[in-house]
Structure 1
Amino acid sequence: MLFILVMDVLGHMITKATSEGLLLPLSTRGLQHRISIYADDVALFLRPEAGGISTTMDILNLFDEASRLKTNLQKSNVLPIRCDDLEIATIQNLLPCPLSNFPCKYLGVPLSLRKLTKEQVQPIIDRIADQLPGWKADLMTRAGRRVLVQSVLTGMLIYLAMAFDFPPWAIKAVDKIRRGFLWRGRKDAKGGHCLVAWVKVCQPPELGGLGISDLKSLGWSLRMRRVWLQKTEPHRPWAAFPFHVPEQIGGSMGNAFQTLLLAFLRLSRKGGSRGALSGTPSLIGLGFRTFRELLQLV
């Protein structure tokens, strides 16, 4: 906890330098996110110009003197993004850090300015397939293999599915691995080995399925959290990014919200003269003080 509090000071120092005009804006758009901190891993976003780089180095040196947390530049990397040769030369003269290529990986997530290529996504699929040889599948029942499919093979994708949309070919490749291990304990399975259609397998147990997550629906549900946070916490750095909501999800969300409104209206009628605009126990339980506050999220 003390380490987190100290690292938070570094974030405030960078923010203060930006507000004082010591660091040039990153772009003409409103997004000006300068620093991301995860444990002892720090990512700084700077314009490739001498003044900003020198100011940032002064801030890091001042932070080092105050906290005794020294930045190891030899283990740090500079990743130029759309920089020309002159800007790269300026970076190399002022920063004694190795240069790396962008796109890259940060905290295990592939980063790119464009849609991820097959070369970037394929290692994720290979890492899932590499799990199978270490499991003694022949000694497991199908029920045991189902648990591993859901908790391990599917669970490995949750972190990444929150960040980007897997292409259809990747979902098909992962489903092939999951289906093969479930029915045969191998990487793949022929049609005759599959006792139930995969669409049925991915349904909840209450509907006759095995409760294995459908990857496409799982990715949608994980990323829909961004839509909620864009409305409830617009100060987040990534809130300004455009987010595409699939038509299927948009229609489902509209129907669900309409049902929610009708339920609140019925509750307000039962509540007497105070009405829906005064708030109901159900609204308060969800964190909304008034009905108007809920409508602002739409």
Structure 2
Amino acid sequence: MVAEVLSQNFSHLIRNKIISGVKVASTLPPVVMQQFVDDTFLFGQSSVIEAKEWKHLLEDYALASGQLINYNKSKIYFFNTDRNLQNKIIHILGCCAANLPGSYLGLPLTVKEVTPKFWESILERMQKKLAGWSGKTLSGADKLQLLSASLQGVPVYFLSLFKISIAMVEKLEKIQRSFLWTGMEEKARISLVNWELVYKPKYMGGLGIRISDLNKALLTKITWNLVMGNADSCKIMRAKYFNHTPFSSLVSSNDLPSGSKIWSNIVKS
């Protein structure tokens, strides 16, 4: 509720043309504030006047709400801004400047394809989880439960936004296969069932642990939320990329609007 008051105050400044915000699409008002989890994102033009207005409003918000803003943990991202102007804005707001590509909540902030190094970090995380499990003392059902709940749980956040490569799928499935049949022991054992059958959906007689299917399902869910969602972020994406064009017509055309790799993955899903 308090954050909503802050948002309305920023909107008031835009209506009175005191600040500009960022114009994302012609059919939407300028974007100045978005929130995700416990973080607040502010968007605006690189100007001393706008920076001062932000600072005054944020100080008033902190005084009225009792919530202190941690400027030491806040970051400013500049685009096409002169270095001298950057320094002035940094001085006014009291934040540090940051550069892209970077990361947010472990996800890379980039418009390009994620590098193999990014996926290698996922592999390492999965292997560390396995290191604490004594697979040889677990039953087959126990191992399957761990695979479903923990191994697939590690990369889900990343699979929700990025399309995983076939090579990386094979590496992840190798970890799954090794744990399921050997408990990650050094000694090799014969696989009891062909892996092609194991990773099939349960209704087809498999165990339902295929990572590539999970990746496609999660990207499709993002697409559904984008097309049907009422959140401001969904409205912004629709206005920017759809331009009142039905999504089905958009993805079937050869003239797709350009965007980040995440947008490309959504369209391909």
What TM-score bracket applies, with the shorter chain setting the length?
A: 0.7 to 0.9
Query: CA shift at 1:152, angstroms?
Result: 0.7
SS of the aligned residue for 1:131 comes to: helix
Query: CA shift at 1:114, angstroms?
Result: 1.8
Query: CA shift at 1:145, angstroms?
Result: 0.9
| Unaligned ranges ≥5, structure 2 | 253-269
1:202 equivalenced with 2:193 (yes/no): no
Counterparts of 1:129-148 in structure 2, within 5 Å, are 129-148=127-146
Query: CA shift at 1:220, angstroms?
Result: 1.7
Q: Cα distance 1:137–1:80, how it changes in 2: closer, same or farther (>3 A)?
A: farther
1:21 equivalenced with 2:17 (yes/no): yes
Return the alpha-carbon distance in structure 1 between the equivalents of residues 81 and 163 of structure 2. 27
Which of residues 96, 99, 111 is equivalent to 2:97?
Answer: 99
Return the alpha-carbon distance in structure 1 between the equivalents of residues 161 and 4 of structure 2. 24
SS of the aligned residue for 1:73 comes to: coil
Q: Deviations over 1:11-42 (max 9, x none)?
A: 33233333433332425644754333245322
Q: Which amino acid aligns with 1:203?
A: K
Return the alpha-carbon distance in structure 2 between the equivalents of residues 49 and 103 of structure 1. 23
Q: Which amino acid aligns with 1:200?
A: L
SS of the aligned residue for 1:74 comes to: coil
1:55 equivalenced with 2:59 (yes/no): no
Query: CA shift at 1:83, angstroms?
Result: 4.5
Q: Is contact 2:76-2:97 (8 Å) kept?
A: yes
Structure number with higher relative contact order (C-alpha < 8 Å, ≥ 6 residues apart) = 2
Q: Which amino acid aligns with 2:217?
A: S
Counterparts of 1:34-73 in structure 2, within 5 Å, are 34-73=32-71
1:221 equivalenced with 2:217 (yes/no): yes
Q: Give the TM-score normalised by the residue count of structure 1.
A: 0.69
Q: Which amino acid aligns with 1:97?
A: C
Q: Cα distance 1:75–1:110, how it changes in 2: closer, same or farther (>3 A)?
A: same
Q: Is contact 2:21-2:31 (8 Å) kept?
A: no
Which of residues 157, 160, 163 is equivalent to 1:162?
Answer: 160
Aligned residue in 2 for 1:211:
208
| Unaligned ranges ≥5, structure 1 | 251-298
Aligned residue in 2 for 1:184:
182
Query: CA shift at 1:150, angstroms?
Result: 0.8
Return the alpha-carbon distance in structure 2 between the equivalents of residues 242 and 184 of structure 1. 48
Which of residues 148, 154, 172 is equivalent to 1:150?
Answer: 148
Q: Cα distance 1:187–1:196, how it changes in 2: closer, same or farther (>3 A)?
A: same
Q: Deviations over 1:30-88 (max 9, x none)?
A: 47543332453222233322222222111111111211112121222223355453443
1:10 equivalenced with 2:6 (yes/no): yes
Q: Which amino acid aligns with 1:215?
A: I
Query: CA shift at 1:95, angstroms?
Result: 2.7
Q: Cα distance 1:234–1:75, how it changes in 2: closer, same or farther (>3 A)?
A: closer
CA RMSD of aligned residues (A): 3.1
Q: Deviations over 1:120-139 (max 9, x none)?
A: 33322221221011111121
| Count of residues in Structure 1 that have an aligned counterpart in Structure 2 | 241
Work out which of the two has the higher radius of gyration on C-alpha atoms and give 1 or 2.
1
Q: Cα distance 1:228–1:69, how it changes in 2: closer, same or farther (>3 A)?
A: same
Return the alpha-carbon distance in structure 2 between the equivalents of residues 43 and 101 of structure 1. 15
Identity %: 24
Q: Cα distance 1:177–1:114, how it changes in 2: closer, same or farther (>3 A)?
A: same
Q: Give the TM-score normalised by the residue count of structure 2.
A: 0.76
Q: Which amino acid aligns with 1:21?
A: K
Q: Cα distance 1:108–1:187, how it changes in 2: closer, same or farther (>3 A)?
A: farther
Q: Deviations over 1:261-290 (max 9, x none)?
A: xxxxxxxxxxxxxxxxxxxxxxxxxxxxxx
